[in-house]
Amino acid sequence: MTTNTPVVLAGHGSRRNESNEQVRAVAAALESRLGDRVVPAFIELAEPHVHERIAELAPDAEAITVVPLALFAAGHVKNEVPLVVQYARQRFPDVAFSYGSSLRVRPELIEIVADRIEAAEAELDADRHDEDVAVVFVGRGSSDPNANADAYRLARFVQEGRAFSRVEPTFVGITEPQLDRTLREVARHDPDATIVVPYMLGDGVLTQRVREDVEDFDDAHPGIETATTDVLGVDERLVRALEYRVQEARTGTVSMSCDTCTHKVSFAEHGSVVDGETAFVDALEHTLAHVSDAHDHSHDHGEASGHDNGHGHTHEQTDDSSHDHGQTTEHEHGHDHERTETHEHGHGHDESRSG
């Protein structure tokens, strides 16, 4: 096994040990698939922190790849982890660092969701081809418009080529529409069955909230068969998607759309809450809280599964005025500029770019 090019898998971190154990289990599965050392680390609420893991690996490493274990890209992925990586580049100049994308929309994830829905259909003895079967796709919600848009995009791919009467995207919190409202709207169509998909990595606080809302809906609408799917879990296809993100990072082909970035365009009702300067300052304070030996990081961010810091992403401008979207140590975005990753065939999956 190669040990001089390790991967740091950066999970959010939680007060619930079960959630942190899932990050460790995914890291172990990814290590088996890659053949390189993969170590878990956490952004907050659990240890070791990302910067601590990097410091542990750097003395013997030629290159370190940091990849977030996150479904979509919001404040932590776009701000805080990139700042940690940039700090590491300065602290360990002899080590080559690369930073990967969040999972976002990948065919492996669409496939997992489709299988979870199919299992729930079997549980209800429902048939989408002969009955009116509605799906409610539940994301956690973010103050980052691109993260919410990716949730809608993924939900649409789930619907493509599948005989559901509708697939309704919704959220647990932070943004609209929220789950209770969406369930009320679905009930107005009086489907034979409603399948609710909590699009979460594991069974945490938010997943339990979704299940409770669905139970209340089921009690209030006895004529509609209702089921909640399993979460993504430690699925081999999830690990394959992460492997793809690692290889993107290592080859400098990470991509994400900046066309609708809150640092470039104004969104009504957002205002200065997510502007670039605010996001950068908040992220910098959070990062310094971890990397500074003189700072007691005792502030409370809340439960991991319900925490959204509302940041945009960090654009660090150096003396190099060029705007390089490849992998570079001169210009650290912490995110990727998207070339369209989905190739639509009209039958419900997205095809990754070649290479």
Predicted confidence (pLDDT) per residue in 111-156, tens digit:
999 999 999 999 999 999 999 999 999 999 999 999 999 999 999 9
Asked if pLDDT for residue 187 goes beyond 50, the answer is: yes
Backbone φ and ψ for 50, nearest 5 degrees, come out as -60, -45
Q: How far apart are CA 116 and CA 127, in angstroms?
A: 14
Asked if pLDDT for residue 195 goes beyond 70, the answer is: yes
Locate the domains of the chain by residue range.
2-104+236-306, 107-228
The DSSP bridge pattern shows strands 2-11 and 63-68 to be parallel
* 306 or 85, greater pLDDT: 85
Asked if pLDDT for residue 353 goes beyond 50, the answer is: no
- Name which of 150, 168, 143, 178 is nearest 282 in CA terms: 143
pLDDT at residue 257, as a whole number: 52
pLDDT at residue 266, as a whole number: 56
For residue 243, what pLDDT band results from cuts at 50, 70 and 90?
very high
Q: How far apart are CA 217 and CA 125, in angstroms?
A: 19
In 10 A of CB 28, how many CB atoms?
16
- Name which of 75, 122, 129 is nearest 261 in CA terms: 75
Asked if pLDDT for residue 333 goes beyond 80, the answer is: no
pLDDT at residue 278, as a whole number: 56
Beta strands in the chain (DSSP E): 2-11, 36-42, 63-68, 96-99, 133-139, 166-171, 193-198, 225-228
Asked if pLDDT for residue 273 goes beyond 90, the answer is: no
Which of 139-143, 157-161, 184-188, 319-323 comes out lowest in average pLDDT?
A: 319-323
In the CATH scheme, what architecture does the domain 107-228 have?
3-Layer(aba) Sandwich (3.40)
Asked if pLDDT for residue 84 goes beyond 60, the answer is: yes
pLDDT at residue 343, as a whole number: 43
Asked if pLDDT for residue 311 goes beyond 50, the answer is: no
Angle (CA) 156-162-166 rounded to 5° is: 60
pLDDT at residue 75, as a whole number: 84
pLDDT at residue 76, as a whole number: 84
* 150 or 266, greater pLDDT: 150
For residue 74, what pLDDT band results from cuts at 50, 70 and 90?
confident
Q: Mean pLDDT across the stretch 50-62?
A: 97
The pTM of the full predicted model, rounded to 2 decimals, is 0.76
In the CATH scheme, what architecture does the domain 2-104+236-306 have?
3-Layer(aba) Sandwich (3.40)
* Terminal alpha carbon distance of the chain: 24
